[in-house]
Amino acid sequence: MAGKRLQAANAKKSLFLSAMKKTIAVIYSLAVISAVYACDDDPTHIHRRAPAIITPPSRQLDWGDINIIHTTDTHGWLLGHQKTSSPEPNYSGTFGDFSSFVSHMKDIADKKGVDLLLVDSGDLHDGTGLTDGFPPGGIDAHDSNEFFAKLPYDVLTIGNHELYVYNNTLDIYNNFIPKFNGRYLSSNANITLPGTSGTVPIGNRWAKFKTQKGRNVTALGVLFDFTGNDKGTSVQKVEDLVKEPWFLEVIKEEPALFLLAGHMPVQKDKWPVVFNAIRAVHPLTPIVILGDAHSNFLIIIHSHLGSGHSHIRDCTQLDGRSMSLQSGRYMETVGWLSAKLDDNKANKNITFTRRYLDPNRVTYEYHTNLTETDFDTSIGKSITTGLLALAKKFNLDFIYGTAPRDYTLNQDPYPSEGSALTLFIEDAVPYALALSNPRNNTPNFIIANSGSQRFDVYSGPFSKNDLLTASPYADPFFYIPSVPLSQAKQVLADLNKPSTANDLSDYGNGASPVKAADSNDTLGYVTHDSCPGDGDDTVHKALAQYNLPHYISSKPPNVSEQTPIDLVFINFIEPRVIASLNSIQKVKVYSSADAHQYSPVVLNQALGYYAIGHWNKD
């Protein structure tokens, strides 16, 4: 019996190694709630229906003279959220469904005699298998961007995730941006092309165009003061941008509307710098700002492909003739903004409205007054079909195991059995790093940044898509040997001090959930922003939201405080770890030369190894 168990164990270990040699990629488990399925006799004929548990919108949209549909931080979530656990069904629409929605809304706008613009604020890269699951030699988001380009975007702008890897930036410069005929904007983001020494704008600096109804629009695309870009790219500070002669010339002529699309949060960042520069010339011209929920703090604690965003729904007004909107993340929100314009002669408020839509077929059909049978357009269906084909091409539905429960980043406290961070750092990482590791006989203490984990793990089949959706970054693990356990634990505490973590009050430690109202509403977003009225399109009960520490660790080994151990950490945080070690002791001055690679296993493989080892039935 023991021999059979050993044989089975060796076979399972062989399976681990074989599976993990494959490119670890991502895509949603395709045979689940959203009912994306093909005919038995025609695999290219895709049926679509909405899950039955989705709550419809609470009211119709308010239309103005100019109306805008806004997306941002899509990060490859083009097949929608396909899990059954709440609130995922709220976001189960595919990008094909969204395409059909936009097409019908354009028709409604024409019938109403008003304008409807479609705008995106960046970060198309990094997030799912559709972007990251390419085979060796491919380019992140190259294939998925082909589907994004099928929609009639009026204005797009660059995000920081388009700048982390030079080859990705060059790819969008050569193959994606030309599809938008001057409407992809990068007012302060530049690239050095191969074989040249100077810089050129990645997209266009600005765009001036007439709407369908003849209104003049001046558009700019502004990125926050990002410094994590790859060599060969550059980002000009916003304060310097507004002093440029070309900028001053562009804003000299008064349009019907200034449209400022940018990868920058509408609260507490540099939008007022751009806004005030325009207001100094045009005190009454309507201004619409479409941003994203970036945070400089999160750029610091995330890995080099990290989120950089709090990814929230938000709205504010810098004055009564402007509105600033940001529309969440991961195709969990489609933003709506409307404005009733005047002749810009009187200093009075303009009527703006905003709405945050849950992207699903119930929402889309409700607002277009259509049904399941007449909603889909041919282009919409072809996009969904193409995305499914891309998923198959990348072999992204490989199943590592079956997760026994939901593990969430924010809905469960850390540490706890339901915490995705606990699963990652206390279970998956120690298990994965112990596989064929010559240092197994030396106790260790492992530290990672909580931002290294990007999304929840839901119960049921755990696919390659689920793996890199939850844990997308390929950071190696390094270690410093012979660190006393007491000092290793002090490093963790030091890293989590507010001063080390940039002291932003919005991201504190502890476990303080946002309490949900007692109602029968489905779980989902409950938004509190700075604009008047209720912005949420669908009424929900709020999810619990627990604050997280900035850095997390494995359980300390069962040894004395002075026992020398291996201090293991993600390579990305090496400078912080070394600085912390040098601040808490004076016996030795540590440097990067003291850090060595700990294992061939990298960050985004840990959950896969663990799933194969623990989430498969004998």
CATH code at 123? 3.60.21.10
Using alpha carbons, select from 438, 418, 436 the residue that is nearest to residue 427. 418
Among the candidates 347, 364, 388, a domain finishes at: 388
Residue 196: alpha-carbon gap to chain centroid? 33
Query: Could you tell me if 158 and 138 lie in one domain?
Result: yes
Q: Band the pLDDT of 27: cuts 50, 70, 90.
A: very low
Residue 613: count other Cβ atoms within 10 Å of its Cβ.
19
Among the candidates 354, 388, 422, a domain finishes at: 388
- Greatest pairwise CA separation for the chain in angstroms: 89
Query: Could you tell me if 482 and 604 lie in one domain?
Result: yes
569 within a domain of the structure (yes/no): yes
Q: What is the spatial distance between Cα 139 and Cα 380, in angstroms, rounded to a whole number?
A: 25
How far, CA to CA in Å, does 609 sit from each of 132, 198, 263, 401, 467?
19, 45, 35, 10, 10
Query: Could you tell me if 107 and 148 lie in one domain?
Result: yes
Query: Could you tell me if 91 and 151 lie in one domain?
Result: yes
Query: Could you tell me if 350 and 497 lie in one domain?
Result: no
Q: What is the spatial distance between Cα 491 and Cα 418, in angstroms, rounded to a whole number?
A: 26
Q: What is the spatial distance between Cα 579 and Cα 39, in angstroms, rounded to a whole number?
A: 59
Residues in the chain: 618
Query: Could you tell me if 47 and 131 lie in one domain?
Result: yes
pLDDT, one tens digit per residue, over 381-430 is: 999 999 999 999 998 999 999 999 999 999 999 999 999 999 999 999 99
Query: Could you tell me if 379 and 411 lie in one domain?
Result: no
272 within a domain of the structure (yes/no): no
266 within a domain of the structure (yes/no): no
**Which residues in 328-475 belong to E strands, given as ranges?**
334-340, 351-357, 399-403, 444-449, 460-463
Helix (H) or strand (E) holding 487: helix 485-495
Query: Could you tell me if 161 and 70 lie in one domain?
Result: yes
pLDDT, one tens digit per residue, over 348-393 is: 999 999 999 999 999 999 999 999 999 999 999 999 999 999 999 9
Q: How many domains does the chain have?
A: 2
DSSP one-letter code for 593: G
Residue 242: count other Cβ atoms within 10 Å of its Cβ.
22
Tell me the CA end-to-end span of the chain in Å, nearest whole number: 15
pTM: 0.87
Say if residue 501's pLDDT is above 90. Answer: no
Q: What is the spatial distance between Cα 216 and Cα 286, in angstroms, rounded to a whole number?
A: 12
Q: Band the pLDDT of 52: cuts 50, 70, 90.
A: low
Greater confidence, 308 or 100?
100
Which SS3 state, helix, strand or coil, does residue 156 take?
strand
Average pLDDT value over all residues in the chain: 88
Query: Could you tell me if 367 and 438 lie in one domain?
Result: no
Greater confidence, 22 or 555?
555
Query: Could you tell me if 417 and 384 lie in one domain?
Result: no
Cβ pair 276, 322 in contact under 8 A:
no
pLDDT, one tens digit per residue, over 78-104 is: 999 999 999 999 999 999 999 999 999
Using alpha carbons, select from 33, 134, 102, 614 the residue that is nearest to residue 357. 102
Cβ pair 487, 563 in contact under 8 A:
no
Q: What is the spatial distance between Cα 79 and Cα 92, in angstroms, rounded to a whole number?
A: 8
**Per-residue pLDDT at 520:** 62
CA torsion sign for 243, 245, 250, 251 is positive
Range of the structural domain that residue 414 is part of: 399-507+542-614
